[in-house]
Amino acid sequence: MNTDELNTKIELTEAAIDLYIKDKFSIPNLTKETGKSASEIYTLFPNKKALLKFYYPSLVIRYRAMISEIDDFGSYSISEKLSNFAFTLFDMMDERWEFVEDTFEKYEWCCATKSEFQQEIKELFKEFFTTDGNIATSAGFFMGDWFYASLKTQFLFLTKFWLEDNSEDRERTFALTDKITGFIEELVYSKVVDKGFDLAKYSLSAFGFNKQVEEFNDWVSSWFDDTPDEEVEIDIEDEEENETNNNSD
Q: How far apart are CA 44 and CA 25, in angstroms?
A: 17
The CATH T-level fold of domain 55-190 is Tetracycline Repressor; domain 2 (1.10.357)
114 pLDDT higher than 90: no
Q: Sketch the domain layout of the chain as residue ranges.
A: 1-53, 55-190, 191-249
pLDDT at 233: 40
| 33 compared with 192, residue with greater pLDDT | 33
pLDDT at 231: 44
Q: Tell me the pLDDT tens digit for each residue of 15-25.
A: 999 999 999 99
Q: Tell me the pLDDT tens digit for each residue of 46-88.
A: 999 999 999 999 999 999 999 999 999 999 999 999 999 999 9
pLDDT at 72: 94
User: What percent of the chain is predicted at pLDDT more than 70?
Assistant: 76
13 pLDDT higher than 80: yes
Q: How far apart are CA 49 and CA 45, in angstroms?
A: 9
Q: How far apart are CA 155 and CA 152, in angstroms?
A: 5
Q: How far apart are CA 142 and CA 223, in angstroms?
A: 8
Amino acid 12 reads L
170 pLDDT higher than 50: yes
Q: How far apart are CA 230 and CA 145, in angstroms?
A: 9
pTM of the model: 0.78
The 10 Å Cβ neighbour count of residue 151 is: 20
List C-alpha distances in Å: 1 to 4, 7, 31, 45, 166.
8, 10, 22, 13, 40
**Quick check: 95 and 35 in contact, CB under 8 A?**
no
Amino acid 213 reads V
| 211 compared with 121, residue with greater pLDDT | 121
Q: Tell me the pLDDT tens digit for each residue of 129-160.
A: 999 999 988 787 778 899 999 999 999 999 99
Rounded mean pLDDT, 24-45: 95
Positions of E strands within the chain: none
Q: Tell me the pLDDT tens digit for each residue of 191-241.
A: 765 555 455 555 556 555 555 445 555 555 554 455 554 443 434 344 444
In which band, very low, low, confident or very high, does the pLDDT at 113 lie, cut at 50, 70 and 90? confident
